[in-house]
Structure 1
Amino acid sequence: MAQINSCLKRTFIVFNFFFAIIGGIIIGLAVLSQILTSAEEDQSMEGRGMGLIVLYVMGAITMLLGLLGAFGAYKEQKLSLVVFLVCMVIGAFLMIRAGIPAAIARPQVEGILEEKFRDLLPLNSASFQVKHMADTLQTQMHCCGLFSYTDWNDDIPASCQCSAEDEEKYECRMLSYSYLRQGRSIYSKPCFPILMHYVLLLADITLGVIFTLAALAVLGMVLSSIMIHQLRQANRTTILLSVPSIFTPGPPKYQELHNPPPPY
């Protein structure tokens, strides 16, 4: 006999399947990131291994919790629901603890990065790794310099060059002979504002994911708590109160005083 409200049970199962799908999406993103970055062997990709491990672990835990919650609701198993509830409490606490400081630090990201990038100037006298990073940004983002093309002084690399095809798609500018030995068309936009756009977009997406998971964890806590309460109420032994015999009514008083008629 079902002990949990059927509507609540179906809602909780759907919620947990959605939770498991999110875990599968996280694992898929980790696999895609690993494929796209597998060919990169430079020093800028040294930290990708730890990031991929974190994605795999988060995806696996999310998927397993979703399946555990759905199983506990379907079988109306109290132990599975209690484990799910404990995990949701821990998950909500961790998400909120990580999300609030990140949201507070978000407006300071641009200033911190700008200070660090300005320490790399001038680019023409920077290390090989910094030059390689700048060349990669300029090639992929179609920009020149971190804050201006003057970051390279007079040694502007070929990655800044704007071809005839690029002039139709991107903003370019022609440098006069006072800066270079030959006139050259270069990208007019600096790289730092473009880079910051993607950094802040990634930060906003990360904050959205963190607080969305926190909200889902709180919702899971509420639903699982209600179902555990229903299971506890259904398992309680019903106590029937019996009326003591001392209060059993006796025969009417008029029967005691009634005298039968004498026989004839």
Structure 2
Amino acid sequence: MAKANCLLLRNLFIFFNLLFAIAGVVVFVLAVLVHFHLNANEFDRGNGVIGLYMVGSVTFLISFLGAYGALKNVKWMLVVFLVLMCLSCFTLLRFAMPLAILHPQVGLLQEEMENVGPLDKTSGDFQRIMGEFQSELFCCGLVNGYRDWNNNVPESCDCTTDEIMQDTCLPLPDNTLQEYYADIQLEVRSTRMVHKQPCGVIIVSKALDVILGVLFGFTTLAFLGIVMTCCLLAQRIKLGAVAKPSMIFSISSKPPKYSQLLEYK
């Protein structure tokens, strides 16, 4: 019965490490995709991409070490896996806890976002990404609303009729509106409504939610790995102790019973 339980735990442990390895491969592939979307200068500044490469590679190697050690019953591999999982759990918590504390204070990052400068002066790729965010998150600009676009507010900032009724929009000043419609010879007197909420705080908040989810998810997996490794090592030690023959040493001053041997003469 004990051997059956140990075999079940070992198979469950190997399956857990396969899932962990798949997670590492997914992170590595994500890093490759982001890498190909960056030019050389952006990659040199992209510490986040390098971090994804490292996390994906280390996760895969640790999971391979644990799965192979459990499959071949290599004790030192399981011990190394346990130590690495403890270090990983501590490191993940080290990054996750400050982010969890920072999450309610997203507004403090406004000064950093202001360094981006006017959005209409940024690269075409950045403007395209901002346009997608503005359409999906129903916001406009990064920090100061439509003012971040100067007089070139894109259509992705426009409000629909339903949004206007919900009081989430504000009218665009006439000078901005007139330049927007300068290509058509028409004197614009109507009011163009754009989203009131800036996108910066929303983007950072959602990004922190995703990062915290990933960190705490990996922390949970690491903790489960620690528990399962401890159980596997404990069962392995227990089975090893049962398998060893017990040697009993008896110290007695009484002589052996030779009378029993004499009966067979």
Deviations 1:157-195 (A, max 9, x none): 1535878xx868986876575765553765511462x33
Instruction: Give 1:205 shift.
Output: 1.4
2:263 counterpart residue number = none
The letter for the 1-side match of 2:237 is: R
How large is the Cα RMSD of the aligned pairs?
3.7
The letter for the 1-side match of 2:108 is: I
**8 Å Cα contact 2:21-2:64 kept in structure 1:** yes
**Alignment gaps of 5+ in structure 1:** 121-125, 253-264
Instruction: Give 1:60 shift.
Output: 1.0
**8 Å Cα contact 1:89-1:217 kept in structure 2:** yes
In structure 2, what is the Cα distance between the partners aligned to 1:144 and 1:211?
A: 31
1:239 counterpart residue number = 246
What secondary structure, in the 3-state scheme, does the structure 2 residue paired with 1:76 have?
coil
1:188 counterpart residue number = 194
The change in CA–CA distance for 1:187 and 1:139 in structure 2 (over 3 A counts) is: farther
Query: Which of residues 59, 62, 65 in structure 2 aligns to 1:62?
Result: 59
**8 Å Cα contact 2:146-2:153 kept in structure 1:** no
Instruction: Give 1:50 shift.
Output: 2.1
Alignment coverage as a number of residue pairs: 235
In structure 2, what is the Cα distance between the partners aligned to 1:105 and 1:177?
A: 39
In structure 2, what is the Cα distance between the partners aligned to 1:136 and 1:47?
A: 22
Larger radius of gyration: 1
Instruction: Give 1:31 shift.
Output: 1.8
In structure 1, what is the Cα distance between the partners aligned to 2:148 and 2:118?
A: 15
**8 Å Cα contact 2:85-2:222 kept in structure 1:** yes
Query: Which of residues 136, 154, 157 in structure 2 aligns to 1:159?
Result: 154
Q: Percent identity?
A: 31
What secondary structure, in the 3-state scheme, does the structure 1 residue paired with 2:46 have?
helix
1:257 counterpart residue number = none
Q: Which residues of 2 match residues 191-230 of structure 1 at below 5 A? A: 192=198, 194-230=199-235
2:95 counterpart residue number = 98
**Alignment gaps of 5+ in structure 2:** 179-186, 260-265
The change in CA–CA distance for 1:107 and 1:177 in structure 2 (over 3 A counts) is: closer
In structure 2, what is the Cα distance between the partners aligned to 1:218 and 1:242?
A: 44
**8 Å Cα contact 2:177-2:192 kept in structure 1:** no
2:72 counterpart residue number = 75
The letter for the 1-side match of 2:89 is: A
The change in CA–CA distance for 1:149 and 1:209 in structure 2 (over 3 A counts) is: closer
What secondary structure, in the 3-state scheme, does the structure 2 residue paired with 1:188 have?
strand
The change in CA–CA distance for 1:100 and 1:174 in structure 2 (over 3 A counts) is: closer
Q: TM-score, normalised by structure 2?
A: 0.71
What secondary structure, in the 3-state scheme, does the structure 2 residue paired with 1:29 have?
helix
